[in-house]
Amino acid sequence: MQFLANLRVRTAEAYGAAGQRPAGWLLSAHRIDARTRELALAERAAGIPLMADNGSKEHIDDVLRGYSERAAEIAREAAAARAPGEVRESGAPPSLRSAAAALAREVVEACEARVAGTDWSELLEAQISLRPTSLVAQEDFCVACLIGLDLERPLIGWSIRDVERRARRSLQLWERVAGDPRCRGVDVYAVLSGFDFNTARAAGRLAAARGVTHVAVGMAAINLDRETARTYRVGRRVLRLAASAPRRYVRLAQVASGIVAGYRDVGRSLQGFHALGLGAGAMFPVLAAAVGPDVALTCDSTSPLHDAVRDHVLYDRQNFGGRLPLPKVAQAVLSDGSWPCTCPFCSPYLAAHPPDLEQARSWWHGAGDPAIARSDLLPGRPLPAAVPLLTIAEGGAGQEALATRIASNHWALDQLGRDIPDGQMRVEWARSAFARMTRSPAATHRGIQAAAQVLWGADPPLGRPQGPG
């Protein structure tokens, strides 16, 4: 499996400074400017694969912002109306279902207007200017927006046919791009969406019948879902999970496996599957197991960048890219003296700026061994002066430290992707990974257990969860 790093200037510069390159890059159309195009062409000249995304994320974010308040109010009313133990939104009062359906129609109209207002040929020209090895065709993103707004299928009254209608529109957009002579020699991905296994399977069947060989699925809305699932549907059966679990794990397992099942139904082979915006390393094994052994698997995410810049997080390479907040890293450094990452970015930085552990511990003990807070890592404070890689700042002395952590986070997911084998060993690797994730936080562990039940029909003995949920 390949993790494609998002081609941002600071990410590319961090890789270049360390003499490293990722497995591949992704650059979205709305991020193309003179500098990123220059970087993209240089990477392509060096033989690095590059996927040109269609820029829909920008439109999706705008739609979600425009309708989030009204959708949240409907979600609150639906939760309040749900009887104890009730897990299906179809039990909501008719007036509420009617309001949700009306809002869904507005969302669809807003999405359709944005697609119609985009010059597809101009978009394609921008993508092709990068000399990509693959590109994501223009898409219908209605289902992604509905999921992101928590307007679920039972609540808005959508049938499988409604989702098929959106899939057909996405496939029409794909056909227009894939048939353009400018795409000769480029793998063109059609974007499919689904609420669940049944709708994803239906979309997969349609794509297979159209001759689509490469499929992309947007993960942003799935990742944003903070709801809990107690059941899942396969065909006409509603099955209860062994324990409630984060719905994003259940949906990822269902949608990815549903698309593959749709191809199997038609008797066609899916050659490539790309997960747009999948940056949670704990979900990589779910994707690998759901897609199976015979499909080239890729994903991308801006999470390694945003987690380093906004959340001040370092990824744990040894624990499926688990998030290590910098104050927690600082606490560990003070306790045992070791930096938790030996990647090609952290190691050279530490060699050039060796930590003064004696000075750091002298300050810490003098302050009474306090728990480290974010404020302790700001420029000018004693701890980052002694251990510069802990500095939280985007400019000045903190700039190099931040660039190092950005690159380190990308590297952690790059390496996790490289760990996932192709072919028949992929599913066995995923099973083994599921079993090894008992060190994960409780919520992640429940998500993994639920995904295993969805994929394999039983709750395997994956151990007991540890840590807070």
| CB burial string 315-344: b at 16+ within 10 A, e below | bbbebbbbbbebbebbbebbeeeebbbebe
Q: What is the pLDDT of residues 153-198, one digit of tens each?
A: 999 999 999 999 999 999 999 999 999 999 999 999 999 999 999 9
pTM recorded for the entire structure: 0.93
Domain ranges of the chain: 1-25+320-420, 49-301+425-456
**pLDDT at residue 466 above 80?**
no
The answer to whether 292 and 260 are in contact (CB under 8 A) is yes
Q: What is the pLDDT of residues 117-161, one digit of tens each?
A: 999 999 999 999 999 999 999 999 999 999 999 999 999 999 999
d(CA 143, CA 378): 42
Task: Write the CB contacts of 352 (distance below 8 Å, at least 6 apart in sequence).
Answer: none
Mean pLDDT of the chain: 92
Question: Residue 195 has what DSSP assignment?
Answer: S
The gap from C-alpha 46 to its chain's centroid, in whole angstroms, comes to 27
**pLDDT at residue 293 above 50?**
yes
Q: What is the pLDDT of residues 58-78, one digit of tens each?
A: 999 999 999 999 999 999 998
Q: Where are the beta strands (DSSP E) in 2-66?
A: 2-6, 24-28, 50-53
Region 328-347 average pLDDT: 93
Please give the span between the terminal C-alpha atoms of the chain, in angstroms, as a whole number. Answer: 29
d(CA 313, CA 329): 9
**pLDDT at residue 458 above 90?**
no
Integer angstrom CA distances of residue 438 from 123, 139, 227, 299, 454: 45, 38, 22, 24, 18
Instruction: Calculate the CA dihedral of residues 34, 38, 44, 48 and round it to 10 degrees.
Output: -100
Structure tokens at 142: 């209605």
Portion of the chain with pLDDT greater than 90, in percent: 84
Backbone angles phi, psi at 446, to 5 degrees: -65, -40
Q: Which residues does residue 27 pair with via DSSP β-bridges, in sequence order?
A: 52
d(CA 326, CA 23): 27
**Residue 87 — pLDDT band, cuts 50, 70, 90?**
very low
Structure tokens at 337: 């003296």
